[in-house]
Amino acid sequence: MTLTELQDTLPDYARDLKLNLQTVLAQTELTEQQTWTVAAACALASRNPKLSETILAEAAAKLAPAQFSSAKAAFAIMGMNNIFYRFRHFVAGGEYDQIPARLRMQSIRNHGGDPVDFELACLAVSTINGCEACVKSHAAVVREKGVSAEAVVASVRIASTLHAVAGILEAC
């Protein structure tokens, strides 16, 4: 299914999402590589097979294989880290902060793609997964690496739109 075909399946009451889906994938604040790295990771995080299949097909055509793989790695590692660090946030520190995570996280350093784009994808996926600690951490990292506030928000627009589209697809 193409992106246009997917948009056409959205009901009239989701017209805003249909339009937003077009615009968030063409934002000038992000490079094409950043857009499709974030979109691939967010589509997977949104957990809708139809959306994932469509976005991944588009992303695979626009990204180098290593970059495409790094988008999937961002989804995978954040799926684990967001739960762990959200737990730490929920229990508000104390003795839990002193206990090591002891979770393998090598893909954060060895994902094979552009480091900034990987971090933007991690930020966007963390937003979908609702992990405040990870959102703050990845936002700080990309800002330190020179990414503008507008680009950060652009990545979150992709996350919010894809997540909402996934919900509509599940409901229909």
Q: Give me the pLDDT at residue 172, please.
A: 85
CATH number, domain with residue 67: 1.20.1290.10
Cα–Cα distances in angstroms (integers) from residue 94 to residues 8, 89, 90, 91, 99, in the given order: 50, 10, 11, 8, 10
| Domain total in the chain | 1
Question: Which residue matches tokens 């992709």?
Answer: 158
Q: Give me the pLDDT at residue 105, please.
A: 85
Going by C-beta distance under 8 Å and a sequence separation of 6 or more, which residues neighbour residue 111?
Answer: 69, 70, 73, 74, 118
Task: Identify whether 131 is a catalytic site residue.
Answer: yes
Domain that holds residue 60: 3-171
CB 10 within 8 A of CB 54: no
Q: Give me the pLDDT at residue 108, please.
A: 81
- What does pTM read for this prediction? 0.95
Task: Identify whether 134 is a catalytic site residue.
Answer: yes
For the chain, which residues score pLDDT lower than 50?
Answer: none
42, 122, 134, 172: the catalytic one is 134
Quote the tokens at residue 171.
């409901």
